[in-house]
Structure 1
Amino acid sequence: MRIIASIFFLTILLFNWFGYRVVMDYVQQKADTHFEQKLDNKEYDASALIEVRAPVSLPYQTDWKEFERVSGDITINGMHYKYVERKLEGGEMIYKCIPDEGKARIVNARENFFKLVNDLQNQQQQKSGKQPATSYKAFSFDYCEQLSQWSLDALDKLHQPFNHTFSATTLSAFILKAEQPPEVTA
């Protein structure tokens, strides 16, 4: 019975460490794939598209006649957008993007689960004006040995005079010996 309980608790611990990330990444990948299919099939409201313009400086660039389908995403002010189309015109790349509410919900759920699991919930301040309890435990130095012996040997070496004597072996490493120059071939 103890083995079953320990396996159960170990499974819960491993899920809290790694499992929810894997599950949330899988759910997000499935939602992204489904949303991309909807965009490819043009199953979206064209009035919901926003334009993002980025300057492009390329030599010999030509303007494009039509928009082309593009994949990708961008986050602006905390809101997630998917690229739908792009077009190069007048030295600017024009991206048409659509809000991705599904990704926003998944990211929000991931963050809320992380806060819940790690006890990082935002607590409201009580009416008495007390600060909310901290969500971490301060490290205690109760059982750490305090060493109060200091050694400043490096400072003693600074006050010693510099040794100006050089040995012949030190100088011989820097003296170049005369050698025959290389022969020139014509």
Structure 2
Amino acid sequence: MKKLSAILLIILFLFNLFGYRVLFYYAQQQSDITLEHNLDQNNYNENELIALTIPLSMPYQHNSDGFERFDGEITLNGKIYKYVKRKYCDGKITFLCLPDYNKMHLEAAKNNYGTNINGIQNNGTNNHDNSKSAIGKNLSTDYEQNVSDYAIVHYKSINKYSLLDKAFPLTTAIVNSPEQPPELT
């Protein structure tokens, strides 16, 4: 009887360490498969689509004729969005995204379970030690690239003004080099 109870307690302990993460990971993967299948079958509401426009600096990129099916996901402001379609137009790429409510719900449940099982209480106070070393601060901030030139709009407003179908000419500029390039010897 002692062996059986010890084995059960070890199994419970291992589940609380990392088993619940595996369980939630599996549930999220199944949710992703179901959502991808629905997106491939065009079983989604067009009114829920959100357009995300990002500048794209790729030389010789041609404009797309229309939107094409695209898979992927992005997290913005704590919300998870699944890519549905994409389009290249005038040096920008436009993604049409759907919010993934099921994955957000699973992620929140996983976080709540983890905090409850570990006895962590969040009282709204931040108890982190802010005394980082100067080396840690420099390494973490030197190589961060923040791209803040994106826009989120509803797909209906894009179609209403039909901005995506217009072609705008590229501007050309002659840029002088600040100094003479080195010579080969």
Instruction: Tell me if TM exceeds 0.5.
Output: yes
The answer for the alignment partner of 1:4 in structure 2 is 4
SS in 2 for 1:59: coil
The answer for the alignment partner of 1:16 in structure 2 is 16
The answer for the alignment partner of 2:111 in structure 1 is 111
Q: Supply the distance in 2 between the matched residues of 1:30 and 1:73 (Cα, whole angstroms).
A: 15
Cα distance per residue 1:135-158 (max 9 Å; x no partner):
xxxxxxxxxxxxxxxxxxxxxxxx
Q: TM-score, normalised by structure 1?
A: 0.65
The answer for the alignment partner of 1:57 in structure 2 is 57
SS in 2 for 1:51: strand
Q: Which structure has the bigger radius of gyration?
A: 1
The answer for the alignment partner of 2:130 in structure 1 is none
Q: Supply the distance in 2 between the matched residues of 1:33 and 1:9 (Cα, whole angstroms).
A: 34
Q: Over aligned residues, Cα RMSD in angstroms?
A: 1.6
Give the AA of the match of 1:28: Q
Q: Supply the distance in 2 between the matched residues of 1:37 and 1:5 (Cα, whole angstroms).
A: 44
**Higher RCO, Cα 8 Å, sep 6+:** 2
The answer for the alignment partner of 1:96 in structure 2 is 96
Q: Supply the distance in 2 between the matched residues of 1:3 and 1:56 (Cα, whole angstroms).
A: 62
The answer for the alignment partner of 1:141 in structure 2 is none
The answer for the alignment partner of 1:85 in structure 2 is 85
Q: Supply the distance in 1 between the matched residues of 2:103 and 2:29 (Cα, whole angstroms).
A: 9
**Runs of 5+ consecutive residues of structure 2 not aligned to the other structure:** 128-185
Q: 1:58: Cα distance to partner?
A: 1.7
The answer for the alignment partner of 2:149 in structure 1 is none
Q: Supply the distance in 1 between the matched residues of 2:97 and 2:105 (Cα, whole angstroms).
A: 18
Query: Matched residue pairs, number?
Result: 126
Greater Cα offset, 54-63 or 19-28: 54-63
> Which runs of structure 1 show a deviation greater than 4 angstroms over 4 or more consecutive aligned residues?
none
**Runs of 5+ consecutive residues of structure 1 not aligned to the other structure:** 125-130, 135-186
Q: Supply the distance in 2 between the matched residues of 1:28 and 1:121 (Cα, whole angstroms).
A: 25
- Give aligned-pair identity as a percent: 39
The answer for the alignment partner of 1:138 in structure 2 is none
Q: TM-score, normalised by structure 2?
A: 0.65
